[in-house]
Amino acid sequence: MYQLIKKHLFALDPEVAHERTLSALKLADKVAGGKAFLRMMYRIDDARLHCHVWGIHFPNPVGLAAGFDKNAEVYHALAAIGFGFIEVGTVTPVGQPGNEKPRLFRSVQDQAVINRMGFNNHGAAEVAKHLASYRQTGIPIGINIGKNKVTANEDAAGDYEKCLDALYSYGHYFVINVSSPNTPNLRDLQETDNLRRLLRAIRTKASELEKNGAEPKPVLLKVAPDMAKEHMRDVVQVAVAEGISGIIATNTTLSREGLKAKDFAEQTGGLSGRPLTKRSTEWIRNIYRFVDGQVPIIGVGGIFTGDDAYEKIRAGASLVQVYTGMIFEGPGIVKAINKRLLELMKRDGFTNITQAVGVDARK
């Protein structure tokens, strides 16, 4: 069925197609029986896929990456599709329109997407209103936060603190996004001294909120794939030393290596999809070794199949996320990945998916 819909969606501008997909999910959320139909079609519940990470229960390890549901508008429909968790955002303190259009491009030939969206979102206060109705849910929600484009890097900590103030009671975990290539100079915050100051400020703000009665929340760092190995090691070691609870590896890349569609390759922005599959898996393996398994990793980048997801889990990812893969494979991707994970676990003699985490990285 998705192949028929896909022909229509792929005939549209990619951002228009995304907006229509969101509209369809909103409709499924409102129509009587809509979510029940989605659960019947797509959801798998198998105890062998259950995960407990940071003390949070995940019904399966396959989540939706940030960028799809920027404003937390279609959580219930996405949960019905079978995701084990949903990450919303990136959210900034003040709503902003993002970069000029067109800013989203796809290549069927490369099975890839380039975006230069620029953190377009409605702002923390508006997102908080949407999240307020999701608090009593069984599917964990991550909240990805960033700084506004007009905020100088030396003032960036204040933006992340404002997001925590507005959203802390609503998320199961939070993600510090300093790795998007589409906000000018944002990646400079990954330099170790800048990162250390930022993470200390964020940790201090979280501690203040917890002293005032808020439940402690894991805070993760999302990293870019375009660093030298030594720099990545320094970044993740600083993050762990400053109390970060986990790493998301990786964000989109600026590399255009191996792309076949020339006009597509010339677009500026972050590349995601199939060209990132092996590169992100290798970073997961390296990061797992850098931190000696001390903190969980969420693996993201070019996951289209259960084999892709399993490779990342064996490399060290406790959880995985999809986005571009869903654009090309449709909503059935979650069910397909989870079914294949069960087959691969059985092949390898694992009774729970957590037993596969890091087995290749430890070799």
Report the distance separating Cα 167 and Cα 156, nearest Å.
Answer: 17
| Catalytic-residue membership of 180 | yes
Strands (DSSP E) found in the chain: 51-53, 56-58, 62-64, 85-91, 94-96, 104-107, 112-115, 121-123, 141-145, 173-177, 219-223, 246-249, 270-273, 297-300, 319-322
Q: How many CA atoms lie within 13 A of 94 on its CB side?
A: 8
Distances, alpha carbon 170 to alpha carbons 132, 134, 260, 288, in Å: 7, 8, 42, 29
Catalytic: which of 180, 245, 280, 318?
180
Q: Which helix (H) or strand (E) holds 86?
A: strand 85-91
CB 186 within 8 A of CB 146: yes
Q: Which of 161, 154, 310, 145 is nearest to 221 (CA)?
A: 145
Active site residues: 180
